[in-house]
Amino acid sequence: MLPAKPQFQTVDPATDEPGKRYEGLTLDEALAELGHVRRAFEDWRRTDFATRAARLQRAAAVLRARRDDFAALMTAEMGKTLSDGRAEIEKCATACAYFADHAEGFLRDEPAGIDGARAYATFNPLGVVLAVMPWNFPFWQVFRFAAPALMAGNAAVLKHASNVPGCAMAIESVFREAGFPEHLFRTLLVPSDFVEPLIRDDRIAAVTLTGSVAAGRKVAAAAGAALKKVVLELGGSDAYVVLEDADIALAARVAATARMVNGGQSCIAGKRFIVVESVLEAFEAALVAEMARFQPGDPTDPETRFGPLVSVAARDEVDRQVEASVAGGARLLLGGEAPDRPGAWYPATILADVRPGQPAWDEEIFGPVAAVIRARDEAEAIRIANDSAFGLGAGVITADLVRGERIAATELEAGMAFVNANARSDPRLPFGGVKHSGHGRECSRHGLLEFVNIKTVWVEGGVSGVE
């Protein structure tokens, strides 16, 4: 008897009603597809940068042409508002254009300047990169790895989150429509337990994962056992330090924007706001006013800023964390009660008096819940900010830009730190974290170099350096 094919059922988060159903691949079928991808890589690795760039520029054009359709697909599968979905597609297109324009320069041979030898470092593609991606930014998470990986001459296979199969297939269609070789980028609709056998397969050269710490541990263990390169972008509990000289209105706007990005469902969403006590009361009042502007609404309405969470189960977990924090002594300033209606709805919520032992302090809350924490002074605020297993993004809000830059650059234990602004990813800058937030980088030249073989070439008796 042939093995049953896995099934992937989408669910509309706004109504909790089932949507479209997709049939996936058996493990044997997935491994057969992997063979096609590896063969496509052998040709693609020898293409010139101009050819690769032309295809990637075409991918940017396809994304922009189909922006509204892709945004609607995200709304249907994971609840993203249409406005956020359109912005996400534009960001993907921008990344494609950026790496099309800059990859050749980023990967230019680097001369060593050794007398009597032609010695340099060159950058070769690794092969087929397996990407295990999450649902919260279903297009951007993929394109920020795929654009540089393909420009470097690699091929790719995507194992996307099981609740966004339509997005996963749509991404594959972008590359096909853009004129990339048919099998160079393939989506594999497979369950999570297929990831380890895929990693073990010799045709996979490297792995990148964005997801939970638990998922990161499993993928890192499998990749380590197979001695394969892995990049991990995991969870975050981003801290923003609000100092006594901060513009409180600005601090509240930055905090609300940071907390409510993607409905709070982002690894780099601001989650902990550590406020020097002399301005704590004023900050709390200002933050309530700013967060109250985020009223849940129909995600298909272009004017809606804040839609449902990804699923009822995810909403219930956020609700549990809030209730447990309040039971542990936290004080509700806003929200905190799930509405009695179908769908994965939860209001913008603020918890004050957050202390160790409460989920709002100890855990990552993946939803629209801001935790406000008191600090005596700058030193204690920095200590609290760094007192976390995570280290993805961080921020500081102060009127003294020299002071803020010092804290951001040297004091905050995070892969990214921002002064008077909320954390965000950008194709031009490295993106990633430290501690339990993972390792490796995406975006920029640093992300491009994650999936290349940095090879030394030495030609004895050659001219010093590389012309």
Residues acting as catalytic residues: 233, 267
Cα–Cα distance, 283 to 280 (Å, whole number)? 5
Tokens of residue 24, six digits: 């996936």
> Helical H runs in 188-294?
195-200, 213-225, 248-260, 280-291
In the beta sheet, which residues pair with residue 54? none
Amino acid letter, 385: A
Strand order in the sheet with 185-187: 185-187, 155-159, 128-132, 204-210, 229-233, 438-439
Closest CA to 374 of 249, 264, 250, 275: 275
> Helical H runs in 112-154?
140-151
304, exposed or middle or buried, with CB in 10 Å at 0-12, 13-18, 19+? middle
Q: Is the dihedral of CA 45, 47, 53, 56 positive or negative?
A: negative
In the beta sheet, which residues pair with residue 270? 238
Where do we find the tokens 């002399």?
A: 278
Beta strands 204-210 and 128-132 are parallel
CA angle 234, 239, 244 (to 5 degrees): 170
Closest CA to 421 of 307, 257, 221: 257
Cα–Cα distance, 21 to 11 (Å, whole number)? 9
DSSP labels, 260-314? HGGGG--TTSEEEEEEEGGGHHHHHHHHHHHHTT-----TTSTT-S----S-HHH
